[in-house]
Structure 1
């Protein structure tokens, strides 16, 4: 009986060029996501000389900036970080939907892995939980997903 071919990404960031795009809106949350992502990438071998952090106004701008970075072909991967917290109007729904859709389109269009670290939370407490307390740090998870995807794509 034959065995299947298994393709899996290694968590090794050595030699990669990475961009982190982080929103300033809700920066008290986003800064913790950035810190988690940077720490993860450094612990997995990324030379910080190959790391660019781009600060932008808010989540709605994430797709445009990620697309511009991906189109430059300068970066092996991108981590998109932000936090949208539900308010009293439908604004939350529009921002979250369009930012998510645009980030996904960027990944597909440019074949550049983008770690999705946009928190979409119903409350500040939920955001705090996802930025390094009870629910872990979603910046770390986004960086890990991006890194593993880079290494899988190299094998395809």
Structure 2
């Protein structure tokens, strides 16, 4: 459907058990819409905190029509969760606003591992797949209607 729209995905290695499943959901969705593997670049970063700055750098390259930002922040016993979740959201938003490239927020923010598993292909579906659909829609909108 949209093979000429190049996508990039920034994926956090922290909680990789979850982020790999989200990535697979996104890649399957892209494939279902005839977006070839060679039109999708995957960039791994240490954690969700590093997603925003990486998305900003990728957007500045001028070769991507959308950037998918995938991560998983799971609440623990400290306030670290709040800082990382808020920073990830702010970073992705800032990258999109500053670059003009749609940067799609696909970072799960869950209370526990069970919630994360359910949102990464469990009973709540795969949020990576949903995020890929948002990237397709936004890339198409920017490329065809907002040019």
Determine if the TM-score, normalized by the shorter chain, exceeds 0.5. yes
Cα deviation, 1:9-65, whole Å, max 9, x if unaligned, reads xxx331111111111100000000000000100110112111111011000000010
CA distance in 2, matches of 1:114, 1:29: 20
Q: Is the 8 A contact 1:117 1:139 kept in 2?
A: yes
Give the number of the structure whose residues are more often helix, by fraction: 2
CA distance in 1, matches of 2:19, 2:36: 22
Corresponding residue for 2:91? Answer: 102
TM alignment of 1:35-114, pairs within 5 A:
35-114=24-103
Q: Is the 8 A contact 2:74 2:81 kept in 1?
A: yes
Gaps of 5+ in 1: 1-11
Corresponding residue for 2:141? Answer: 152
Corresponding residue for 2:21? Answer: 32
Gaps of 5+ in 2: none
Is the partner of 1:127 in helix, strand or coil?
helix
Q: TM-score normalised to the size of structure 2? A: 0.96
CA distance in 2, matches of 1:49, 1:141: 21
Count of paired positions: 145
In the TM superposition, structure 1's runs of 4+ consecutive aligned residues that sit over 3 Å from their partners are none
Corresponding residue for 2:112? Answer: 123
Larger Rg: 1
Is the partner of 1:89 in helix, strand or coil?
coil
Structure 1 vs Structure 2 CA RMSD:
0.9
